[in-house]
Amino acid sequence: MRRNYSLRIFAALLLLITVFSCNTVYQSQSLQHKSYRIGVSQVKDTATQQMLHPYTVKVNETMNEVVGVADMSLDKTQPEGTLGNFMVDALYTMAAEKYAAKVDAALVNFGGIRLTQLPAGNVTTGKIFELMPFDNLLILQKLDGKVFQQLLDLMAEKGGWPLAGVTMQIKDKKAVNVMVGESRLILMLYTP
């Protein structure tokens, strides 16, 4: 027995055309809200707290693990800051170790650094997650000089990003007097 699907196909195509050709934009005309303060004095759900307790203990144990010590306070500033420089230097060093490749330069997107300061003292796993709370990927990329210059100009236009293995000056929102190694293999931190 042969079935006729042409009517179903036509209906599906008509639906797709209607959905993708619709230019209607909806915008709220008013907004009403109430603020509620939630504090320690609120009634606690002890059953939920008891259920979550083993997980809370394990997460806190992991997040409070000391992974390093900052000898001084590290600050996020542009075009250069001690926090961004520390992060990009760590990535630059790790790339040579993990990828067994000579990396000429490394960079980190300034906006991807989510703390304005890492205080002096113990650095915990939790603090690292606060600093970079994303599933970041390290990417090795070989760039020719023209593309690399465009990337540096974009960084300069944005006020500068943390760099390792590169020296440059920013003039009129452009990267000038750029000095970098020869192979143009660049390590980048990418946040999907």
The string of pLDDT tens digits covering residues 132-141 is 888 777 888 8
Calculate the average pLDDT of the chain. 80
- Return the higher-pLDDT residue of 121 and 51: 121
Domain hosting 90: range is: 53-190
Dihedral class, residue 98 (left if φ above 0, else alpha if ψ from -120 to 50, else beta): alpha
The band of 160, judged by pLDDT with boundaries at 50, 70 and 90, is very high
Number of domains in the chain: 1
Judge whether 6 lies within some domain: no
The CATH number given to whatever domain includes residue 142 is 3.90.780.10
Average confidence (pLDDT) over 138-161? 89
Global pTM reads 0.67
Judge whether 64 lies within some domain: yes
